[in-house]
Amino acid sequence: MSGGDSPGAASRVAGLYRWQRDELELLDYCDPAELTLEVADSWLVSEGLVLALDLHRSRFFSSIAARGFDPAIAEGFWDAAIAAIPTSGDWFPRVELVSLRGAPHLQFRLRSAPERSRSLVLATYHGDDPRTVPPIKGPDLASMLRIRTEVQALGADDAVLLSALGFVVEGAHTALFWWRGDILCTPAEEFERIDSVTGRSILALATALGVKLSYEAVTPEELEGLEVWAVNALHGIRIVVSWIDGPSTAEQPGRLARWRSLLDTLRKPVPSR
């Protein structure tokens, strides 16, 4: 670790920590079968910089409340988790609220960031909607991993979930955008889905730049010939280069690079404790 790391961060090793006695304690063993994942949130930290950490905090705390727990239990835990993130290297930490027989427990996963990419392949998921709590990140992560794994067997990187009427809602692990000329579009607000922090940051950028926005109910076929983006906290903005059994997509030269650069300008240092 670099000399810029806080003492707490410098002493941490990658692994799973449980918030106990007002401290993060490294777990040697944890039986996931006994636990229910209530809320989860994760973000990329690259060389000490992070995008919209305040929005991740807000989403985590509001989700705790939505699951019927007191968000005040996470105050000290959040500060300790942030302080534990190293300021050198690439990391993809995750905070979690889990329950054991109805009792809440807070966990922190310090993870090295996986390899990142600028493009991906999508495939439409044709089964029943597996989500049980669409607006909350956490309870459905196992189901989302399952359907992503299913489409990976087809050569895709992520699965696209559709509404009951066949309209595009979100990816299993991504929020979706597309361009109609100079208009930036995203699924209609009526569709329940995860409130993507990266997506909100892109919308804020677009508003600041005077880009016209459109919220649409569209089928995959109606995206034929358009530039389509899939975004999340790990990869930022990725362009869809192929959609298996779906629309042919396009790319305007230079636009993706410009917006990825603009998004990077919003990254700020992780707060020091």
pLDDT digits (tens, 9 = 90+) for 11-51: 678 999 999 999 999 998 766 668 999 999 999 999 999 99
* Tokens (6 digits) for 4: 């810029």
State which residues of the chain have pLDDT below 70.
Answer: 1-11, 30-33, 273
Among 151, 157, 155, which Cα is nearest to 127's?
Answer: 151
72 Cβ contact list (under 8 Å, min separation 6)? none
CB-based contact 108:77 (threshold 8 Å): yes
Which two three-digit tokens encode residue 122? 């999508």
Give residue 125's region: left, alpha or beta (phi > 0; psi -120 to 50).
Answer: beta
Rounded Cα gap, residues 172 and 212, in angstroms: 26
- For residue 154, count CB atoms less than 10 angstroms from its CB and return exposed for 0-12, middle for 13-18, buried for 19 or more: exposed
CATH number of the domain at 119-268, out of 2.60.40.1220, 3.20.10.10, 2.40.50.180, 1.25.40.10? Answer: 3.20.10.10
Structure token pair of residue 236: 């930022």
Q: Look at residue 250 in the predicted model and tell me its pLDDT.
A: 98
Q: Scanning the structure block, which residue is given the tokens 């992560």?
A: 141
Residue 25 amino acid letter: E
In CATH terms, are 7-110 and 119-268 the same topology?
Answer: no
248: which residues sit within 8 A by CB, 6+ positions away? 224, 225
Domain range list for the chain: 7-110, 119-268
CATH class held by domain 7-110:
alpha beta
Prediction pTM value: 0.93
Give pLDDT, residue 4.
Answer: 43
